[in-house]
Amino acid sequence: MKVYSHAGNVLRMVREEGKGFKTAFYEYHTQNEQDIGSHITRVYSIAINAYQRMADLQRALEALSGWNDFTDEEAELLMVLIYEALIKG
């Protein structure tokens, strides 16, 4: 589950701070290198794939009842999980 949280945090940096994906990923990895450790490839893969489908994932999230009640962190994590479960299969 931590891998998904890390990927969601990268997406949040892209969306909230207006950074490009590579910049956000590099900065996040630099700040959390000890925590990510050997899972860097998996975090990158999940984050980049979810980033590429972010518009579709945002629409899916908005279709959920009560989606405005989610915190930003929960929303980004949910977008990553939606991608993994529905789009990737």
- 48-59: per-residue pLDDT in tens? 998 998 888 778
Task: Indicate yes or no: pTM above 0.95.
Answer: no
Q: What is the pLDDT of residues 5-39, one digit of tens each?
A: 999 999 999 988 989 999 999 999 999 999 998 89
Q: Where are the alpha helices (DSSP H) in the chain?
A: 2-17, 21-31, 33-36, 40-52, 54-63, 72-82
**d(C-alpha 21, C-alpha 37), whole Å:** 20
